[in-house]
Amino acid sequence: MTGDALVARLHELIRDVPDFPRPGVGFKDITPLLADAEAFAAVVAELAARVDGPVDLVAGTEARGFILAAPVAIALGAGFVPVRKAGKLPGPTASQQYELEYGHATVEVHPFTVPRGSRVLIVDDVLATGGTAGATIRLFEECGATVVGLSFLVDLRFLGGRASLEGHRVETLLDVL
């Protein structure tokens, strides 16, 4: 399943949940997609196929990015690095803070899992404002890695996140205008 057939299937399987996790927010529920083995495998294959050039590490952002990034890493023959929320990793961490509409948040990695010069692909489920993705880019650059691309299942185009990632290759499977 590729191309238009995959996009049509994604429209069927990704649920829109209004007012979750709080009023005014529209949540994209990917659990029906994950439960469909054929569609899930097609998403992983398509995300991996869109990578341009070699990748050493695939980074997945907490939490749903883990679910997509780990199998993409396996498909590419690359390592997987979880990008965690602050305080979730033991020992020394590298961290980056970013702004949210209601405060700030921090992402962290173990720097010893990111060798200098590594080529990193960042994978997440949804591109919204670009705040998490931008902080994740800075985090890997701080570790001496090169971010070679970002891949998302869904791009919420109306939130403008792609514009904040100028200069980086961004791939998405489903655009919501």
* Sequence ranges of the domains in the chain: 52-176
At 64 the pLDDT is 95
At 55 the pLDDT is 99
Gap between the Cα atoms of 126 and 68, Å rounded? 11
Non-local (6+) Cβ contacts of 124 within 8 A are 60, 61, 64, 65, 68, 69, 132, 133, 150, 151, 152, 153
At 65 the pLDDT is 96
At 101 the pLDDT is 63
Q: Which of 64, 84, 162, 171 is catalytic?
A: 64
Active site residue 101: yes
**CATH architecture of the domain with range 52-176:** 3-Layer(aba) Sandwich (3.40)
Gap between the Cα atoms of 133 and 35, Å rounded? 26
49, two tokens: 């196929």
Q: Give rounded-to-5 percent helix, strand, coil for the chain.
A: 35, 35, 30
Q: Which of 22, 101, 116, 166 is catalytic?
A: 101
Report mean pLDDT in 10-residue bins for the chain, 177 residues. Answer: 90 94 89 97 98 97 97 99 97 92 88 98 96 97 98 94 95 91
At 57 the pLDDT is 99
